[in-house]
Structure 1
């Protein structure tokens, strides 16, 4: 057995965070909500649209929840503190997927798609 140290995951860059938001379904196990996030008809896949994803990142930086260190996005105390007070459900991508699934079902039921 080899003794070693664990390393934290790599920090997101704007590009890798955008990609994670675009392909958020990778983080969802339940089939139906996963498909709702992958539905290109409703919003180009993932969480939000390409424009709103970039806008969210800019707002995180402007609101000083994260800062750029080189190309890496680094959380700062304000951002980490916000995460501790937000409901765990709201921090879960599966919750977002279920919301998208319900939105999609509602539109179908109302003849909007």
Structure 2
């Protein structure tokens, strides 16, 4: 039973570099500093963390975070990624969220 509880705990806490996301408490922190996120911002960050190191297109974000299966020709993705980027990367030693021009976004830690 003790081994099983460790496995469950690992699956509820996601980490990339110094960023930690608790899926149960629905909060995020970087270097121990809590990051205030709105529900949709949390979903966006969670999706990026789960796809760490992979380029995520705007269409993928629309489908998985907003549950839209068409391009509404809006800049909602850019607005939300900008908000999350300001909250996560502001005043930190290195940025985690990177823009891949013409394709989408990638979340990765250096090294």
Q: TM-score, normalised by structure 2?
A: 0.28
Comparing both structures, which one devotes a greater share of its residues to helix? 1
Q: TM-score, normalised by structure 1?
A: 0.28
Comparing both structures, which one devotes a greater share of its residues to strand? 2
More relative contact order, 1 or 2 (CA 8 Å, 6+ apart): 1
Larger radius of gyration: 1
